[in-house]
Amino acid sequence: MIIICPKCSRKHKVSPDMVTPYIRSGKKLFATCKACKYRFPVLPHTLIDPEQNAGRPVSEPESRARKICVTLSKGGVGKTTTSVNLSCGLALTGYRVLLVDTDTQGQSAYMLGKKPAAGLTELLTGELNPDECILEARKNLWLLGGGKSLAGVKRIIDRKSFGAEWALSEALSNLDRQYDFIVMDTAPGWDQLIVNVLFYATEVLVPVALEVMPLHGLSEFLKSLGSIQKYRKEIELKYIVPTFLDTRIKGPQTLYSQLKRLYPDKLCAPVHYDENLAEAPSFGKSIFEFAPGSRASADYRELVRKVSMNDKAFL
């Protein structure tokens, strides 16, 4: 087995006989990194079992995570629903996923049926280290929760006179070697925390609700993204995901065709309007757990395949 130091990302070989009994019994095991001398609790996400992971789609444990932010300034378009279900689907496929909730609403944890004691706030303020802030939400899926306390952090970031846009990147800097995907849910609107997300992520996924004026909201957002891209070339709009597609009425289909014409290379298959998606959160379940045979489950499975570029993902 390999233990990854959460501070310096150095990997250390350890005997499974030494580690497994502790993990199974739930007792705390601490390790000290030989390279940086950092002492940390050995948690499942700091451990890699090369044998168990031999068949998983990303074979290189040292590969860096793809950093995808799910964002659009307009509210209620399906950002959190998409972040949570995309993350769950990737995790079910076998990828190691960290879901980061950067919204003061803290809805990602609620949708997963979790109540994290700490989260992104404590990581950003440096109060706690990553292991104490990250919660294991499902197999292969870890959560760095958001919530009300992020409002205070935003004020701290705002007051920084230098490098304010890099605060999130600094806080997450040692985490990306431990995951295949880091998916970030964002709040509606436009603020310093979203700017921070766009300085950390490399890929942008935009959910566009096929309801009212989606194209206006999208073009406004693309202008703001353009202003970030002037300073940060690595960030790219990769996916536009139409949401709330209701095939019973004509309007959304017309909007979908318009999007297809305007963004042929970025447009993904739509997520249909499905009441299961509105109900699943109150049970703390992903769509795959709540209604695996539903239309929305098939739609999000398709999105998992598209994003992972793995046609066999999550069959």
Ligand X SMILES: Nc1ncnc2c1ncn2[C@@H]1O[C@H](COP(=O)(O)OP(=O)(O)OP(=O)(O)O)[C@@H](O)[C@H]1O
Please give the residue ranges that form the binding site for Mg ion (CB under 5 A): 79-80
Closest approach of Cβ 183 to ligand X, in Å?
13
Question: Which among 207, 87, 78, 71 is positioned nearest to 144, based on CA atoms?
Answer: 87
| C-alpha distance from residue 183 to each of 77, 93, 206, 284 (Å) | 17, 15, 12, 19
Return the residues of window 242-301 that contact ligand X according to CB under 6 A.
Answer: 243-244, 271, 273-274, 277-278, 281, 296
Q: Which residue has the tokens 């990997």?
A: 11
Closest approach of Cβ 302 to ligand X, in Å?
13
Q: Does 6 bind ligand X (CB under 6 A)?
A: no
Specify the residue, 46 or 192, whose C-beta has the smaller distance to ligand X.
Answer: 192
Angle at the Cα of 181 (from 8 to 76), degrees rounded to 5?
125
Task: Tell me, letter by letter, the H, E, C secondary structure of 71-86.
Answer: CCCCCCCCHHHHHHHH
Binder of residue 81, out of Mg ion, ligand X, none (CB less than 5 to 8 A by kind): ligand X
Closest approach of Cβ 231 to ligand X, in Å?
25
One of 66, 79, 96, 306 touching ligand X (CB under 6 A): 79
Cα–Cα distance for residue pair 258/253, rounded to 1 Å: 9
Question: Which among 144, 155, 143, 145 is positioned nearest to 191, based on CA atoms?
Answer: 155
One of 9, 81, 87, 93 touching ligand X (CB under 6 A): 81
The total of other beta-carbon atoms located within 10 Å of residue 222's CB is: 16
Q: Decide: helix, strand or coil at residue 258.
A: helix
Specify the residue, 80 or 178, whose C-beta has the smaller distance to ligand X.
Answer: 80
Closest approach of Cβ 52 to ligand X, in Å?
33
Cβ–Cβ < 8 Å for 187, 105? yes
Q: Does 46 bind ligand X (CB under 6 A)?
A: no
Closest approach of Cβ 160 to ligand X, in Å?
25
Binder of residue 281, out of ligand X, Mg ion, none (CB less than 5 to 8 A by kind): ligand X
Specify the residue, 130 or 147, whose C-beta has the smaller distance to ligand X.
Answer: 147
Q: Which amino acid is at 116?
A: P
Number of residues that bind ligand X (CB under 6 A): 20
Q: Does 142 bind ligand X (CB under 6 A)?
A: no
Q: What is the CA radius of gyration of the chain?
A: 20
Specify the residue, 95 or 273, whose C-beta has the smaller distance to ligand X.
Answer: 273
Sign of CA dihedral 53, 56, 59, 185: negative
Give the tokens for residue 16: 């499974």
Return the residues of window 152-191 that contact ligand X according to CB under 6 A.
Answer: 188
The footprint of ligand X (CB under 6 A) covers: 75-81, 103, 105, 107, 188, 243-244, 271, 273-274, 277-278, 281, 296
